[in-house]
């Protein structure tokens, strides 16, 4: 093992790993923590009501880092993270989703930034990331958000879009941040990490390691693959933050564009339109309409202009898709 770049005697780290039915990847995640060149003080695995063999694998794992295993009823990943935070006693907290992995120098490089950063009120250090598939192989053809310019006071930079890369698995956070801004919002299932970064960004500065230090796994079980789930929870996130924005900050146009894209892509189904009307408060609707009238007139016009082409393509596509499926079934017979 190479000599550490940092002073090992000054900073302590606790690692929180929330898991739900993670038997397939949990040991790989823990092993990536065990291989760190800067070892944490302890690992806290919070089992959010798993029904598979996660329990078995955890109890039969023996590593060099003390591991605390907490079992609780299923209440979602934010509840699991919060349960882990409550057990943390170190100066810093790092999170690792049970299906992700760290590169060996992840913690070391982030601790180093805390030691040398020019930002005096630093609360979070994040990093770049790689994407891997179910087998752990790198995927090189997926878009990766990369914005190392988000440093210092980043609230206005990350309000339109979450550019704190690497998800919750990619950050190292001062424990005191949670004492000041509170825990993860357990009502959110999309954008819960973004919500936390925004709350921390109001009080602290951010810094960045311009290197991939975490491997984010993409697979069929990712919640982001469910369009209805994404749309419903985006509405919850936007509704929460639009009501709390200062008067001098408008609703970001990107939020509206994101919702419009989802609504138009859903057509001819209108369930997203109905959900929007029923889920957004009247106060937030006014703010959205204000943004649309000032920023998105041309965008809406373009969308309306291409609507007939979208509908025609769907009308042509669906019968063609059904025909292909029938042909596949016939071929199998």
Share above pLDDT 70 across residues of the chain, in percent, rounded to a whole number: 81
The predicted structure's pLDDT at residue 185:
97
Q: Give the span between the Cα atoms of 154 and 204, in whole angstroms.
A: 9
For the packed helices 253-266 and 227-244, what is the interaxial angle rounded to 10 degrees? 150
pLDDT tens digits, 192-201 = 999 999 999 9
Q: Domain spans of the chain?
A: 13-217, 226-332
**Count of CB atoms situated within 10 Å of the CB of 258:** 17
Q: How many helices (H) and strands (E) does the chain have?
A: 12, 8
For the chain, what is the mean pLDDT? 87
Please state the separation of Cα 56 from the chain's center in Å.
28
Q: What Cα–Cα distance (Å) separates residue 25 from each residue in 57, 75, 135, 166?
A: 10, 20, 10, 18
As given in the structure block, the two tokens for residue 98 are 């049970």
Mean pLDDT by groups of 10 residues along the chain of 333 residues: 56 97 97 98 98 97 97 96 98 97 98 96 95 89 63 94 86 98 94 95 96 88 71 93 87 88 86 89 82 64 67 63 56 54
Coil vs helix vs strand at 250: coil
The predicted structure's pLDDT at residue 9:
57
The predicted structure's pLDDT at residue 165:
76
The predicted structure's pLDDT at residue 188:
93
The predicted structure's pLDDT at residue 288:
83
**Out of 3.30.499.10, 1.10.1200.10, 3.40.50.300, 3.90.550.10, which CATH number does the structure's domain 13-217 have?**
3.90.550.10
The predicted structure's pLDDT at residue 2:
47
């Amino acid at each position: 093992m190479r000599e550490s770049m940092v002073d090992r005697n000054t900073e302590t780290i606790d690692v929180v790993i929330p898991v739900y039915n993670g038997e397939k990847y949990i040991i790989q995640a823990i092993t990536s923590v065990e291989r760190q060149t800067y070892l944490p003080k302890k690992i806290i695995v919070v089992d959010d009501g798993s029904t598979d063999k996660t329990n078995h694998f955890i109890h039969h794992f023996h590593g060099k880092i003390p591991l605390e295993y907490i079992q609780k009823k299923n209440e979602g990943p934010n509840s699991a993270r919060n349960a882990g935070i409550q057990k943390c006693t170190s100066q810093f907290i790092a999170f690792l989703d049970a299906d992700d992995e760290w590169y060996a120098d992840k913690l070391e490089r982030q601790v180093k930034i805390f030691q040398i950063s020019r930002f005096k009120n630093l609360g979070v250090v994040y990093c770049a990331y790689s994407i891997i598939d179910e087998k752990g192989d790198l995927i090189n053809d997926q878009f990766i958000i990369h914005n190392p310019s988000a440093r210092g006071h980043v609230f206005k930079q990350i309000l339109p879009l979450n550019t704190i890369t690497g998800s919750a698995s990619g950050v190292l956070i001062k424990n005191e941040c949670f004492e000041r801004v509170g825990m993860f919002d357990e009502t959110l299932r999309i954008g819960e990490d973004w919500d936390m970064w925004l709350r921390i960004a109001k009080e602290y500065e951010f810094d960045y390691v311009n290197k991939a230090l975490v491997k984010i796994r993409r697979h069929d079980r990712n919640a982001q693959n469910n369009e209805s789930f994404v749309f419903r929870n985006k509405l919850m996130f936007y509704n929460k933050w639009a009501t709390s924005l200062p008067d001098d900050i408008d609703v970001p146009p990107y939020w509206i564009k994101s919702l419009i894209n989802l609504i138009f892509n859903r057509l001819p189904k209108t369930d997203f339109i109905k959900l929007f009307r029923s889920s957004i408060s009247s106060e937030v609707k006014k703010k959205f309409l204000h943004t649309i009238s000032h920023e998105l007139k041309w965008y809406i016009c373009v969308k309306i202009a291409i609507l007939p082409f979208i509908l025609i393509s769907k009308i042509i596509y669906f019968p063609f898709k059904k025909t292909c499926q029938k042909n596949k079934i016939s071929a199998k017979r």
